[in-house]
Structure 1
Amino acid sequence: MNVKNCLLSVVFLCIGNAAYADKTPIRLGTMAAGTLNWELAAMRDQGLLEKAGFSLEAVAIANQQAGKVALQAGAVDVIVSDWIWTSAMRAEGHAYSFYPYADTSGVLLVPADSPIKTLADLPGKKLGVAGGELDKNWLLLQALGKQQQLDLNASVEKVYAAPPLLGQQLQSKRLDALLTYWQFAAHLESLGYRALLSGEDIIAKLGITETVPSLGYVFKQDWADSHKTDFLQFLTLSRQARDTLCSSDVAWQKILPLTDAATPTEQDRLRQRYCQGRVEAWGAPQQDAARAIFTLLHGLSGNKLTGGADRLQAGTFWSTD
């Protein structure tokens, strides 16, 4: 067993310990490479879980799609996903809700010496897109292109694949640019690749001034409502653990084996991106901005991303009142 798996096993065993059998259980779907495991490890190290009024059971999931299946099947209570999928599920009659977890989003990268300086330089180039043709950042980038009279979908040669493979292709010069997830972007930035636009940049250029969390905890609304006190405590501890990882070098060093960051430069860049993703505000302005983003996405790619609904569904965002 490698160090990373060993640490994960420690987290899973401790948060699922029989000593917590008399507490309200929260079954949390976690991916091995997900940043949520960093916070779980920090919670354990700080002794937060022993004092909590709930017990955590970390349920390993292979990827985001597997997490969605597990949530729908009732195998977990909470996963990390996005509010667009949450709204689409509500439109189908499934009362799921979302509470923000991170502001982090994708990044459009090019080699340091690339002649690509602006979006107008992309037509005719080969672009890698992590997440496929329905990736939110790709759709928003297309919307930004249209605003600048650019049809990126028609004028760019696109390659859809998993982020690690696309990163290798960019490094081997088989791609001119890459739109990828923030963790993989941090790795490439540590190697000298240049960020042309972040997901936040794209949204801002589209006229939306509020920062909207891209990922959050997703769960059945009735489950959260019936376990509100314990779930709110979990959300508080999650934020506390994340803040500690961003403010304490000692705490960060302890979870480094979980990050897969190979060099000090990559570790620093990963931490910087991770901490930039802390949710600073969540209220009516951010939720109104999310509705504006939903409107932008509606109609793109045959409405497949938004589930065919023409507006963000009521109840998508969980109320803590």
Structure 2
Amino acid sequence: MTRKLRCYAVALGVTVALTLAGCGGSDDGGTTSANSKGLEKTTIKIGALPIPDPVSLYIAQAKGFFKEEGLTVEPTPITGGAVAVPMIESGQLDISQTNYVSTFAAVAGGKKIKLVADMYQAGANCFVIMVPSNSPIKTVADLKGKTIFVNNLNNIATLAVETQLKVAGLSKDDVKFAEKPFPEMGNAIKAGQADAGWITEPFITANQSANGFRKLADTMTGQTEDLPIAGWMATEEWVQKYPKTLAAFQRAIAKAQQLASSDRKEIEAMLPKYTKIDAKTASVITLGTYPSELNTNRLQKVADLMLEYGYLKSPIDVKSVIAAPASSG
């Protein structure tokens, strides 16, 4: 039975201060007309951020799950959703990590994108609003007229904070949002550039220990409880052109997701290999859940929230954005 892990996520769309370890792969161009699995393409490039969210990509690689499916996977570093969409559109990437807020916004803007697999779902204390220990701000209501740092504007960051402002009787117009990369938030807040910050691990722990910050509110509660955060995307054209290759990827990644969900030690062992999170930090950071399949009802929750808070102008039926699941064969 899948146990719920503690939570860590960083929304896609951020240039994070972590670097991807080198990952090898075939350089045969990725197309093979005949292979034992009957795949249309045997080498695929996968865009991913060097953070815990896509850990199953590396677990599947290390455990040979892709190899079992006849796939050679080349993990490719990306800096965020802004570059990921044009990279899959141009063919530089076959599949890429994405966050659902960015995905649905892109679809609403006319992009032909499909979600092909789930990756990460939030849990308690994965995104929190933090303030200095000596701050006069004691409740979310006290944020009125204050400046809040977020890693990206008009994304999961601001949406998550807005849901908590609403509970406190405030709206986005009652505060000022400003962008600041997670690694820089703590010192910038200490310097008086903002009053609070929307922060995730490992920066929550870092700011608690180094700067004495305290948590003001968990933004993954209420409307955002267990909110789906990130998944894998491809273009509609790619999905239609490489159905067997896609199914092979889906089966391998689902197997790795199940392993990540059931054994935290697998995640802890993998993180130091492709991120700058060391083994000690990996053993204590909070982690969330790694769903094995895309769930329409959960994802619809994201799109509906976006509509409610003005991130979408009209409703999106997320079922139309999800690619067919892998076959059992």
TM range (shorter): 0.7 to 0.9
Aligned to 1:100: 118
Q: Contact 1:8–1:37 (CA<8 Å) still a contact in 2?
A: no
**Deviations along 1:209-243, whole A, 9 cap, x unmatched?**
6x331211111124224434432332343343355
Of 207, 210, 216, which aligns to 2:231? 216
**Deviations along 1:13-52, whole A, 9 cap, x unmatched?**
1x33659865523221233x33366434333332323222
CA distance in 2, matches of 1:284, 1:62: 27
Paired letter, 2:131: V
Aligned to 1:136: 156
Change in CA separation of 1:188 and 1:316 when aligned onto 2, cut-off 3 Å:
farther
CA distance in 1, matches of 2:248, 2:205: 31
Q: Contact 2:255–2:292 (CA<8 Å) still a contact in 1?
A: no
1:184-195 pair list within 5 angstroms: 184-185=203-204, 187-189=206-208, 193-195=213-215
- The 3-state SS of whatever aligns with 2:217 is strand
Paired letter, 2:149: G
Aligned to 2:250: 235
Aligned to 1:301: none
CA distance in 1, matches of 2:144, 2:105: 32
Q: Mark the runs of 5 or more structure 2 residues left unpaired by the alignment.
A: 1-17
Of 282, 298, 301, which aligns to 1:267? 282
Query: 1:83 offset after TM fit, Å?
Result: 3.0
Query: 1:311 offset after TM fit, Å?
Result: 1.0
Aligned Cα RMSD in Å?
A: 3.5
Paired letter, 2:314: D
CA distance in 1, matches of 2:79, 2:294: 29
Change in CA separation of 1:91 and 1:153 when aligned onto 2, cut-off 3 Å:
closer
Query: 1:259 offset after TM fit, Å?
Result: 3.1
**TM-score using structure 1 length:** 0.74
Paired letter, 2:181: A
**Deviations along 1:128-149, whole A, 9 cap, x unmatched?**
12112x1333134235424533
Report which structure shows greater RCO (CA 8 Å, sep ≥6). Answer: 2
Q: Contact 1:71–1:78 (CA<8 Å) still a contact in 2?
A: yes
Does structure 1 residue 46 correspond to structure 2 residue 63?
Answer: yes
Query: 1:72 offset after TM fit, Å?
Result: 2.3
CA distance in 2, matches of 1:184, 1:290: 25
CA distance in 2, matches of 1:236, 1:199: 32
**Structure with the largest fraction of helix:** 1
Paired letter, 2:297: P
Query: 1:96 offset after TM fit, Å?
Result: 0.8
Aligned to 2:6: none
Provide the identity percentage.
16
Of 277, 292, 300, which aligns to 2:304? 292
Q: Mark the runs of 5 or more structure 1 residues left unpaired by the alignment.
A: 299-304
**TM-score using structure 2 length:** 0.73
Of 127, 144, 169, which aligns to 2:188? 169
1:277-316 pair list within 5 angstroms: 277-279=289-291, 282-298=294-310, 305-306=311-312, 309-313=313-317, 315-316=320-321
Change in CA separation of 1:280 and 1:45 when aligned onto 2, cut-off 3 Å:
closer
- The 3-state SS of whatever aligns with 2:47 is strand
Query: 1:70 offset after TM fit, Å?
Result: 0.9
Q: Contact 1:139–1:297 (CA<8 Å) still a contact in 2?
A: yes
Change in CA separation of 1:138 and 1:116 when aligned onto 2, cut-off 3 Å:
same
Query: 1:75 offset after TM fit, Å?
Result: 1.7
Q: Contact 2:45–2:74 (CA<8 Å) still a contact in 1?
A: yes
Q: Contact 2:120–2:289 (CA<8 Å) still a contact in 1?
A: yes
Q: Contact 2:97–2:232 (CA<8 Å) still a contact in 1?
A: yes
Aligned to 1:8: 21
Of 252, 270, 275, which aligns to 2:268? 252
CA distance in 2, matches of 1:278, 1:37: 9
1:67-146 pair list within 5 angstroms: 67-98=84-115, 99-104=117-122, 106-112=127-133, 114-132=135-153, 134-146=154-166
